């Protein structure tokens, strides 16, 4: 950007405020909330607004006459790559981000050009962007977390158009971002899985959150996936609801684990029930024979050996089942793992 200015105007701008007949100019400059300096071609501060007082903790009268690098950077010369020096050469606007006293600022230098295309000074503007920079950094970190979470996260407009799709969603449903963005979200929904989808949309339009519930959704492969899902409204900069964002957790591995657990419990019951029933019946018969006096010690010893053998067979069956469980189940508590491997 190039600012045309005459030498007479520059001299007028740099007069002492008490001598300036143009109070409107003073009001305009001082109405700017960010620090603004008028510099000579050597970087000397000729004029500044009152915002500079808060920025430098000095009065306007003390600021004038110094070089910008003295007061802003506490140096004896221009910093390397100084935008003021570059602007004096390029005769164009130069900017850079600087961390000044622990806060981020955007420094802008606009050269002042006279009618002969000579640089006669510059406008030095310092914009506080600390909150913006830190917010951007926080957003970047948040985006990183969202992108790399194992949960599926997506945003959907009120007309069901998918606008955002993270890596977790890609992993769970099989669609890449390029394949799914712009598609209708109903390709993920089954009637038996989310029969009340229209009710959910009405709640979203009203700005209500929909608590987490379990459902079934459809993957790219056509597979029905068990998920735990929640919805919340998505707003634009006006605060108007424009859609929803949903978070879905894949329950399929959990369901498979539950099925395997059911299988092991059933298998264990089947292996125990019949042998234990036989042992119980035999021990009852042994008891009756002892009471009636029809059983001598030798016969008793033989019958008990048989029951011990039956119990040993049950024990061996359970050990075999424990090995099967230990081989297939990896994420078990340590005490369970030790028990299964005994």
Instruction: For residues 87 and 175, state if they share a domain.
Output: no
In a domain, 142, yes or no: no
pLDDT at 311: 79
Instruction: For residues 279 and 246, state if they share a domain.
Output: no
pLDDT at 73: 81
pLDDT at 195: 83
Q: Torsion angle of alpha carbons 19, 22, 27, 32, nearest 10°?
A: -90
In a domain, 139, yes or no: no
In a domain, 203, yes or no: yes
pLDDT at 333: 63
Instruction: For residues 22 and 116, state if they share a domain.
Output: yes
Residues 6+ apart with CB under 8 A from 80: none
In a domain, 136, yes or no: no
* Nearest to 15, CA basis, from 6, 25, 5: 25
pLDDT at 110: 92
Instruction: For residues 207 and 322, state if they share a domain.
Output: no
pLDDT at 174: 92
Instruction: For residues 158 and 246, state if they share a domain.
Output: yes
In a domain, 106, yes or no: yes
pLDDT tens for 224-245 read: 888 889 999 988 777 888 999 8
In a domain, 143, yes or no: no
CATH of the domain at 10: 3.30.450.20
pLDDT at 8: 45
Instruction: For residues 200 and 242, state if they share a domain.
Output: yes
Burial class (CB within 10 angstroms; exposed 0-12, middle 13-18, buried 19+) of 162: buried
pLDDT at 7: 46
Instruction: For residues 187 and 259, state if they share a domain.
Output: no
Domain end position, chosen among 72, 96, 129:
129
Provide the domain limits for residue 281: 254-341
Q: What is the DSSP string of 246-260?
A: EEEEE-HHHHHHHHH
pLDDT at 20: 45
In a domain, 140, yes or no: no
Instruction: For residues 43 and 94, state if they share a domain.
Output: yes
Number of domains in the chain: 3
User: What is the spatial distance between Cα 264 and Cα 257, in angstroms, rounded to a whole number?
Assistant: 10
Instruction: For residues 114 and 23, state if they share a domain.
Output: yes
- With contact defined as beta carbons under 8 Å apart, do 104 and 129 qualify? yes
Looking at the whole model, is its pTM more than 0.85? Answer: no
Domain end position, chosen among 232, 250, 268:
250
pLDDT at 214: 87
- With contact defined as beta carbons under 8 Å apart, do 158 and 245 qualify? no
Instruction: For residues 245 and 258, state if they share a domain.
Output: no
Domain end position, chosen among 231, 250, 269:
250
Q: Encode the chain (342 residues) as per-residue pLDDT tens digits.
A: 555 554 445 544 454 444 444 566 677 788 888 899 999 999 999 988 999 998 889 898 899 999 988 988 888 998 888 889 999 999 999 988 877 777 788 889 999 988 888 899 999 988 888 777 666 655 655 555 555 577 888 889 999 999 988 888 898 999 998 999 999 999 998 877 788 888 999 999 999 999 889 888 999 999 888 888 999 998 877 788 899 988 888 887 666 666 666 666 676 677 677 777 777 787 887 888 778 877 777 877 787 887 788 777 777 777 777 777 767 666 666 666 676 676
Q: Spell 202-219 as b/e; 16+ CB within 10 A means b.
A: ebbeeeeebeeeebbbbe
């Amino acid at each position: 950007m190039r600012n045309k200015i005459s030498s007479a105007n520059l001299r007028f701008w740099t007069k002492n405020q008490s001598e300036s007949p143009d109070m409107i100019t003073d009001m305009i400059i001082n109405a700017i909330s960010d620090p603004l300096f008028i510099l000579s071609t050597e970087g000397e501060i000729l004029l500044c607004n009152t915002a500079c007082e808060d920025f430098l903790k000095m009065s306007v009268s003390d600021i004038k006459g110094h070089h910008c690098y003295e007061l802003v950077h506490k140096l004896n010369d221009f910093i390397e790559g100084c935008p003021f020096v570059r602007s004096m050469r390029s005769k164009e606007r130069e900017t850079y981000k600087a961390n000044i006293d622990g806060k981020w600022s955007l420094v802008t230098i606009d050269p002042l050009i006279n009618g002969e295309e000579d640089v006669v000074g510059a406008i030095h503007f310092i914009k506080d962007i600390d909150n913006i920079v830190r917010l951007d950094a926080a957003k970047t970190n948040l985006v990183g977390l969202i992108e790399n979470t194992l949960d599926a996260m997506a945003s959907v407009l009120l007309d069901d158009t998918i606008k955002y799709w993270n890596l977790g969603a890609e992993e769970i449903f099989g669609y890449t971002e390029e394949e799914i963005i712009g598609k209708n979200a109903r390709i993920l929904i089954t009637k038996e899985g989310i029969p009340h989808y229209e009710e959910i949309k009405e709640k979203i339009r009203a700005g209500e959150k929909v608590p987490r519930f379990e459902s079934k959704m459809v993957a790219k492969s056509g597979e029905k996936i068990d998920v735990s899902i929640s919805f919340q409204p998505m707003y634009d900069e006006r605060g108007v609801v424009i859609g929803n964002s949903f978070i879905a957790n894949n329950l399929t591995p959990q369901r498979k684990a539950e099925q395997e657990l059911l299988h092991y419990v059933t298998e264990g019951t089947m292996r125990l029930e019949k042998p234990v029933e036989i042992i119980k019946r035999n021990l009852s018969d042994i008891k009756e024979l002892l009471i009636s006096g029809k059983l001598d010690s030798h016969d008793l010893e033989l019958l008990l050996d048989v029951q011990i053998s039956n119990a040993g067979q049950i024990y061996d069956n359970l050990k075999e089942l424990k090995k099967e469980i230990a081989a297939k189940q990896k994420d078990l508590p340590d005490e369970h793992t030790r028990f299964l491997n005994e």
